[in-house]
Amino acid sequence: TKKQARGGFRFFGKGGNSNVRERLIIGSALRDALQKTQLHLVYQPQICALTGTLCGVEALSRWQHPTLGFIPPSTFIPIAEETGQIEAIGLWSLDKSCQQVIEWELNDVYVPVVSVNMSAVHFCSMDLPDQILSVLQKYNLAPQRLTIEITESVAMRQDPETAANLTAIRDIGVGLSMDDFGTGFSSLSRLAQLPLTEIKIDRSFIENFENDISSLVVAEAAINIGKRLGIKVVTEGVEHEAQETKLQQLGCDILQGYFYSRPLPANDMSLWLDAFPT
């Protein structure tokens, strides 16, 4: 489904010329970034709050362009969504991530689960469940070892394609995580109907834990919702020990953030595991 093949026009109104130029340059550079292996993935550890052991990693894209330099995903992912390149990026990261889990294993590095970010744009493609299935088969990877992260905007869409995809993906046996929880517009009744295995509380809610009571209230409520739904709760952006302690007290299941590790190149995972106290 090529819905918005040339979706550039609306930027002329709001962004001014430099913005348009940037988007044109980045959009066309992205076209061969994939072929020329300028894109790579880094992996951020996720820690089990109860045992302090590694329970998974999140795969995050990085783009180092030879002349433009480092371009962050917050810049190129939205452009890729506009230009129709996001499906290629999604498939590439899915394939790479599954391949990496197997490759780690061959090197005695056991990473239980890899989480892959999937764009809302890619999510309305009816091909997605089959694409996921064939990557799992390609690497002979158990579906429980893969989690797909979706945003609230995907989860709350009412169109039949998205609903069918959510069900089909759950039926394969892979995990489904709602990312950036609390920043969107989820209706709680709809949330309870979705076939989620995990919710992921956005970093913004634990940033000012100590000073901002309202953030704490949201985080606490999200953890309780997850518990009542019988699904895992992850918190991202854990940077300090005080946040860890608080989240452990609240009963959060999985912790992720700079306090444990920055996102790492695949080859550094075994070094990090050796140094990480468990």
Residues that bind Ca ion (CB under 5 A): 117, 149, 179-180, 202, 236
Residue 237 makes contact with ligand C2E by CB under 6 A: yes
Nearer to ligand C2E, 96 or 145 (CB): 96
Select from Ca ion, ligand C2E, none the partner in contact with residue 235, using the beta carbon and a kind-dependent cut-off of 5 to 8 Å. Answer: none
In the three-class reduction of DSSP (H, G, I as helix; E, B as strand; rest coil), residue 255 is classed as: strand
257 binds ligand C2E (CB under 6 A): yes
113-142 positions binding ligand C2E, by CB under 6 A: 117, 119
DSSP 157-204: ---HHHHHHHHHHHHHT-EEEEEEETSS---HHHHHHS--SEEEE-TH
User: Of ligand C2E, Ca ion, none, which one sits near residue 231, judging by CB under 5 to 8 A according to partner kind?
Assistant: none
Size of the site for ligand C2E (CB under 6 A): 20
Q: Hey, what are 76's tokens? A: 């190129």
Task: Look at strands 54-65 and 69-71 and give their pairing.
Answer: antiparallel
* Number of helices followed by number of strands (H, E) in the chain: 13, 10
232-235/254-255 β-pairing: parallel
Say which entry of ligand C2E, Ca ion, none residue 265 contacts (CB below 5 to 8 A, set by partner kind).
Answer: none
171 conformational bin, left if phi > 0, alpha if psi -120 to 50, beta if neither:
alpha
Q: Determine, following the binding rule CB under 6 A, whether residue 268 of this chain makes contact with ligand C2E.
A: no
Q: Tell me if 215 sits within 8 A of 206, measured CB to CB.
A: yes
Closest approach of Ca ion to the CB of residue 228, in Å? 22
Q: Which residues touch 204 (CB under 8 Å, ≥6 apart)?
A: 182, 183, 215, 237
Residue 9 is given by DSSP the state T
**Closest separation in Å from C-beta 37 to ligand C2E:** 15
- Cα 62 to chain centroid, rounded: 13
Question: Which among 70-78, 165-173, 220-228, 264-272 is the span making contact with ligand C2E, rule CB under 6 A?
Answer: 70-78
Provide, rounded to whole angstroms, the least separation between the CB of residue 28 and Ca ion. Answer: 27
* 46 is an interface residue for ligand C2E by CB under 6 A: no
Binding residue for ligand C2E, selected from 26, 30, 43, 44, defined by CB under 6 A? 44
* DSSP summary character for residue 70: E
Can residue 87 be called a binding residue for ligand C2E (CB under 6 A)? no
Q: Whose CB is nearest to ligand C2E? A: 257
Residues 145-204 that bind ligand C2E (CB under 6 A): 179-180, 203
Q: Which residue number, 203 or 227, has a Cβ lying nearer to ligand C2E?
A: 203
Encoded amino acid at 154, one letter: V
Q: Measured from the CB atom, is 110 or 258 closer to ligand C2E? A: 258
